[in-house]
Structure 1
Amino acid sequence: MPRISGSSLELDGFDVAILAILQRDNHTPQRKIAEAIHLSAPAVQRRIRRLEESGVITANVATLDPAKIGQPLTIVVNVDLERERSVLIDEAKKAFLAEASVQQCYYVAGETDFVLILNVPSMADYEALTRRLFFANNNVKRFRTFVVMDRVKTGTTLSLDKVPGISTPQ
C-alpha cells in the first residue's frame, strides 16, 4: 500500500483515507469511516489517536461563517516591515497573534513580510484596526489591503486525493 513519509510519522493509504474523511467532516462516526475504508472501528480509533498524538491532526475545530457572526468583511493584508531584525519580527508576530480580527497570519518569503487574513464587521472597524496595528507601529513600512468579494474556498484541507497510488473515499 502506498505511503507518505513525513518528518515524524509515515502515513499509509488507510491513514490518508481517514484524514480525507475527517477533513470533510470531523464528526463522521468511526464506524462509518471503518466501513468506508474497510477497517475495523477499533483500528480506525487507534489510527486517529496516533494521528492526534503525533501532531498530524492538530485540532478538531468548527468552521464558522463570518457573516453569520457579525464579521462579514474578509480582508487580506500584505504587511511590509521597515526593519527585519528577529526581535522586531517576533514583536510583529506577537501583535498579529493578539489581534482577534486576525484569523490567519503567515510570515512569508518574497515581496512582503506578512500576509494576514482578517474578518471585521465593517470598513470603519478595519480603519480602526489599521490605525492600531499598522500606523501606530513604527516598524510597519507599508501595508496593502485586498477586500474579499467572494469566499470561493476556505479552510486548510490538504489535497490528499492527489497522492499517487492512493484513492480516497468520496
Structure 2
Amino acid sequence: MTASHPERLRLDDRDIKILSILQREGRIPKAALAERVNLSATPCWERLRRLEDAGIIESYQAQISLKAFGPVTMVFVQIEIENHRSDDFARFEKAIAAVPEVVECWAVGGGMDYICKLVVRHLDDYQKLINNLLAQEIGIKRYYSYVVTLPVKDEPLPVGLLAASQD
C-alpha cells in the first residue's frame, strides 16, 4: 500500500446502498437511512463512519438548481496550453482555480490538455472571462467552446458498478 494507491475498502451491498441513497438524499436522517438499508441505527452509523474514514464519502453538500437563478449559460471549454512543462501546467491550473465561474476542470489526455465546465449568467460574460484569461498570459494556445443548449443527463456516480469492478 502506497500513499497514492491506498488499499481499497471492500464494499458490500449495504455499503453500496448507503452510498447510492446519500448521493441522491444527502440530508436523509440517519435513522431513516438505517431503516432503508435494513440495519439498526448503530451498525448503520458505524458503516457510515467507516465510509467517511476511508475517504469514500468526501463531503455532504446540497445540489443547487441552476433554474432557481433564472437564465444561466453553461459552457464546456477544451483548452490546449502553449508549452507542456510542469511549470506551465501549474501556472494554468493555479489561474483556473481562482476563477469562480470555472466549476470543474479536468486535465485530459489526447488532443487537448484540459476540459473545463463554466457557469455564467450570459454568453457575453463568458466571452469577457475568456478574454481576461487570455490577457493573463497563463499559456492558453487555443480553446474550443461548447455552449450547453439542453442538459440531457446529470446523475450520481454508479457506485454499484464501480464497486463491482473491485473484484
Q: TM-score, normalised by structure 2?
A: 0.86
The number of residue pairs the alignment matches comes to 159
Q: Is 1:110 matched with 2:94? A: no
Amino acid at match of 2:158: S
Q: Deviations over 1:120-139 (max 9, x none)?
A: 01111111100111353251
Question: 1:124/1:83 Cα in 2 relative to 1: closer, same or farther (>3 Å)?
Answer: same
Alignment of 1:8-157 (within 5 A): 8-69=8-69, 72-137=72-137, 139-154=139-154, 157=156
Give the whole-Å Cα distance in 1 for the aligned partners of 2:162 and 2:106: 26
- Which ranges of structure 1 fall in alignment gaps of 5 or more residues? 1-5, 166-170
Amino acid at match of 1:58: E
Partners of 2:11 and 2:163 within 8 A in 1? no
Partners of 2:91 and 2:138 within 8 A in 1? no
Query: C-alpha displacement at 1:160, in angstroms?
Result: 2.4
Query: C-alpha displacement at 1:14, in angstroms?
Result: 1.4
Give the whole-Å Cα distance in 2 for the aligned partners of 1:93 and 1:138: 9
- Which ranges of structure 2 fall in alignment gaps of 5 or more residues? 1-5
Give the whole-Å Cα distance in 2 for the aligned partners of 1:33 and 1:138: 47
Give the whole-Å Cα distance in 2 for the aligned partners of 1:106 and 1:144: 15
Give the whole-Å Cα distance in 2 for the aligned partners of 1:69 and 1:137: 32
Partners of 2:26 and 2:62 within 8 A in 1? no
Moved more, 116-125 or 133-142: 133-142
Give the whole-Å Cα distance in 1 for the aligned partners of 2:162 and 2:93: 33
Q: Deviations over 1:59-106 (max 9, x none)?
A: 111111224236610000000011110111011111111100001010
Give the whole-Å Cα distance in 1 for the aligned partners of 2:139 and 2:126: 19
1:162 is matched with 161
Amino acid at match of 2:116: L
Give the whole-Å Cα distance in 2 for the aligned partners of 1:108 and 1:63: 26
Give the whole-Å Cα distance in 2 for the aligned partners of 1:131 and 1:70: 25
Q: TM-score, normalised by structure 1?
A: 0.85
Give the whole-Å Cα distance in 1 for the aligned partners of 2:92 and 2:113: 10
Query: C-alpha displacement at 1:164, in angstroms?
Result: 8.4
